Amino acid sequence: MKDMEDSLEGDQEVAVNQRKSTTPRTRDGRLRTRLRRLQAIAESDQPGGDQVSRAIRALRTLSDDGGRNLAHIKVRSNFVTRRAQAAGEMSDRRPPEGLRPPVLELISPRGIAQQLELVALFVAQCSSPHLRDRRVSALGLNLEPTDANEVSWIDVIVPHAENTARAAYAANRRDSRLRQVKRALDTLTFKNLVNLPNAGSARGKYDDFQLLDEGGPRLFGDPLVYRVPKMDEAVMNVPIDFFFQGWVYVLTKSEVALYLMLRHLSGLPTADGNFSPVSIFGDDRLRRYGVGKDAYKGWWMLQLAGLIEVEVDPARRSNGTVVGFDPADPPSPHVFHLQDAGLGRPSAAAVKAALATALDHEPIGVARVSTRETGPFSMQFRRRLR
């Protein structure tokens, strides 16, 4: 699986007419294809607005009805890290064997399983009607609405499919969303992230599905039923604006995986609300997170969209090579600064602007070299890539 292909082309669902794209597979062609698909889900002249805006309103409604007003969604570390770190030497050409973290296992050219998993965590913490000892016994949403005022699962997902004339009919759009939710639940069940209590039923197979621990398969024993994380658990905080501004819908799955890796590396903010800058060498990126080089190189979009700032070694040229390269003294890895203020911007507009900038031949894969003092940064995972 090529992570970069996902990060450039976006998450494509099967279009109604099943036509193959004729867009050239050049860099600009891939960016234009992604821009066109983003416009399809984030622009509309229909009553009620575009798909992203409608999904965001549905999430806000669930949060308001739940009355919890959370600032963050807590995601267990094992969603983005390996349960057991890979051993031995490795490289991007020889990635470590073994099961990858769920956030990567849910990356595929088609499907919304990663998106649905993250939205389900939001629903479980913001609006789940039945919580006992932090255990989520019911998520409280039907697959599709039964009345005009009900929020259902097909209302809180955004399929990344291009509109066609046939898809203009509301019934077709509804049926397509329902099929995609069911496919995503099949994937989540296969990955031990969801349990289908009615799997053997002729009807209602997907009704009342049960969310399992987001860390996925355990090293031994059966998967755990999902519980809202406790204060002493290893988690990362994902700001609520990641959902309320639609970033969960408009970033590609590889970009989501990279962004969550950087959040996990950054830990909790300091007293002034800022994050310590972080860096990671290639072997730890693979050993701990399983994130390949192609997905890692997608940081340029997160930077252009305003979610991070990136510093690179001044010795690096624009094509990534290094002036005076010495194998005994490799260049420093990129340094990343989370910019949570960027999450407060409407995501679709920010990503469209980033794509437009890239199409205007903004250098891709090259960070702005900062000369300001950044102070010490976390080098907990800093080991040399061999």
Q: What is the pLDDT of residues 338-384, one digit of tens each?
A: 999 999 999 999 999 999 998 886 544 444 433 333 333 333 333 22
Please name the residue ranges forming H helices in 151-240.
170-190
Instruction: Please say whether the dihedral angle defined by the alpha carbons of residues 6, 10, 13 and 17, taken in this order, is positive or negative.
Output: negative
Q: How confident is the model at residue 283 (pLDDT cuts 50, 70, 90)?
A: confident
Give residues with Cβ within 8 angstroms of 362, minimum separation 6: 304
Whole-model pTM above 0.85? Answer: no
pLDDT at 200: 85
pLDDT digits (tens, 9 = 90+) for 285-319: 999 999 998 899 899 999 999 999 998 877 666 55
Q: How confident is the model at residue 9 (pLDDT cuts 50, 70, 90)?
A: very low
Give residues with Cβ within 8 angstroms of 162, minimum separation 6: 15, 36, 37, 40
Distance between CA 60 and CA 57 in Å, rounded? 5
